[in-house]
Amino acid sequence: MSVDAARRDLARLLGAGSVLPGDTAVYLSDETEGRGLRGRADAVALPETPDQAAAVVRWCNDHDVPVVPRGGGTGFAAGAVPLDGGVVLALERLDRVRSFDPLLWRACVEAGMRTAAVRTLAREGGLVFPPDPGAAEQSQIGGNVATNAGGPHAFKYGATGAWVTGIEAVVMPGEVVRVGGAVRKDVAGYDLRALLVGSEGTLGVITAVWLRLLPAPEAFLPVVAFYEGVVSGCSAIERVLGNGITAAALEFLDAGTLAAAGPSFPGGVPAGAGFLVLAEADGSLAEAQRLRAELEAVLAEDALGVVAPAGAAEVEALWRWRDGVSIAVSAQRGGKVSEDIVVPLDRLAEAVAETVAIGERHELPACSWGHAGDGNLHATFLVDPHDDEALGRAEAAAGELFALAAGLGGSISGEHGLGWVKRGRLGLQWSPEAVELHARIKQVFDPRNLLNPGKKTAG
């Protein structure tokens, strides 16, 4: 099958305006571009309906052509990058709100809807869609579900999958199936819904999701505290849990991250600060105020300073700053290799310190930040993206990070998934028998290995 024939066939299925050349740049990379990853595709298909998406999958199956599902392209694992040709199946035109029942706390939206638009929709109904991964303006809800995206508020509210009550997906050889729906409980079958959540486009192509929503909390009241270093900072984090405070978010920045992002911190960073903790209280105004006071008291011990932003504008500025941390870190050397390991909370200090030590061994500046309460670090090595030798060292350092996480009883991925960059690494944390089950589940859904091949491979 020539590339021209592929585009001609797909254009016949979808209409000429729905098929783009395979070299359309915007579909060939994600956030791993800064570590040198860029793909190539034979064509880009832009279906407007689930049936069109199924037709593309069926055509790929019939012609033995790989299909790479793609949302907003904000991934950090190259999961949506077409690394070895095939058809990119971009979901962006499948972006309708199929139903929205604010009085019943639920919505059904198509996969290509931007995450920020989903959040806005909920807010307009007096509700909240709690998951808040970064890049919500660009990412799509289908991609969020396919990676089980997290974010700061996953600490209280869980990751994206916790809010998905149903999934419509195209499965091989090109059929639209639906599991779950506008229901809040369902234990009839094996949890195929949960299996598709986080499957990174390797088991099926998600075309729509039924979401559970929540009444919007009246107030969000963050507190920021600064510490000398990792030990005092991580002790403060454990004190929040130990005192039974149900924070909505519990974030951290280590010294290296603070060096990069501190200069833009609203209000300035106290001298000598080598660790930042950001906690947020939410709920009714009275409840959030009560929780914030508890947080302030508990975080104050050993702190170099505690800041509680006063008004809505200050709160927004704080979170906008927090959203920019990753970019501030990247700006140090132009690029970074950033992984998303998870450890049991009592091993967080060790993981933060060891990230820096691994960097030192590989002669790379290193830092970490992230979702402290969930034990989820963005452990990062700074690199010049044009320096292939340094990139190579960073990849080796990342390998040590994965071994560290697994060795501490954690996971090699808390948010990004395996994608391509962590393919074949699952054996670090799973036994051979579990890895074998993983591989055989893939065979059940995709016997010809055409759905996002090479991604999320276990062994």
The footprint of a second copy on residues 53-92 (CB under 8 A) is: none
**Residue 327 CB-half CA count within 13 A:** 8
| CA dihedral sign, ordered 446, 449, 454, 457 | positive
Q: Which is nearer to a second copy, 157 or 265 (CB)?
A: 157
Residue entry with tokens 């007096």: 126
Count the site residues for a second copy by CB under 8 A. Answer: 91
Considering only 445, 449, 453, 454, the residue that binds a second copy (CB under 8 A) is 445
Out of 24, 120, 264, 284, name the contact with a second copy by CB under 8 A. 284
CB 322 within 8 A of CB 252: no
Q: How far apart are CA 227 and CA 272, in angstroms?
A: 8
The count of C-alpha atoms lying within 13 angstroms of the C-alpha of 66, restricted to the half-sphere facing its C-beta, is 21
Query: How near is the Cβ of 358 to a second copy at its closest, in Å?
Result: 19
Count of Cβ atoms closer than 10 Å to residue 32 Cβ: 22
Angle, vertex CA 111, rays to CA 36 and CA 106, nearest 5: 135
By beta-carbon proximity to a second copy, the closer residue of 138 and 246 is 246
Rounded CA-CA distance 426/430 in Å is 6
Cβ 275 to a second copy shortest distance, Å:
19
How far apart (Å, rounded) are the C-alpha atoms in residues 209 and 180? Answer: 9
Residue 437 found at the interface with a second copy (CB under 8 A)? yes
Q: Please state the length of the chain.
A: 459
As measured in angstroms, the least distance from the Cβ of 193 to a second copy is 8
Minimum CB distance to a second copy smaller for 17 or for 190: 190
Please report, as residue ranges, which positions from 153 to 182 form the binding site for a second copy (by CB under 8 A).
154-155, 158-159, 161-162, 171, 175, 177-182
Cα–Cα dist 398/35, whole Å: 12
For a second copy, which is the closer residue by CB, 321 or 402? 402
Nearer to a second copy, 244 or 311 (CB): 244
Residue span 362-401 as binding mask against a second copy, x where in contact by CB under 8 A, dash where not: ---------x-xxxx-------------------------
**206-245 positions binding a second copy, by CB under 8 A:** 214-216, 238, 241-242, 244-245
Dihedral (Cα; 212, 215, 221, 223), 10-degree rounding: -20
Q: Does 184 bind a second copy (CB under 8 A)?
A: yes
Report the nearest approach of a second copy to the CB of residue 13 (Å). 20
Residues 238-267 that bind a second copy (CB under 8 A): 238, 241-242, 244-246
Residue 188 CB contacts under 8 Å (≥ 6 apart), including other chains = none
In the chain, the amino acid numbered 135 is A
Closest contact distance (angstroms) between CB of 158 and a second copy is 7
Smallest distance from the beta carbon of 167 to a second copy, in angstroms? 10
* Of 126, 266, 272, 334, the one binding a second copy by CB under 8 A: 126
Q: What is the DSSP letter of 130?
A: -
Site residues (CB under 8 A) for a second copy, limited to 327-356:
342-346
Which of these ranges, 34-42, 146-154, 295-303, 393-401, lies near a second copy under the rule CB under 8 A? 146-154
Instruction: By CB under 8 A, tell whether 142 contacts a second copy.
Output: no
Backbone angles phi, psi at 32, to 5 degrees: -85, 0
Distances (CA, A) of 139 to 48, 77, 114, 384: 18, 14, 6, 26
Under DSSP, is residue 85 helix (H, G, I), strand (E, B) or coil? strand
Q: Which stretch binds a second copy (CB under 8 A): 12-20, 102-110, 308-316, 318-326?
A: 102-110
Residues numbered 6 to 45 that lie near a second copy (CB under 8 A) are: none
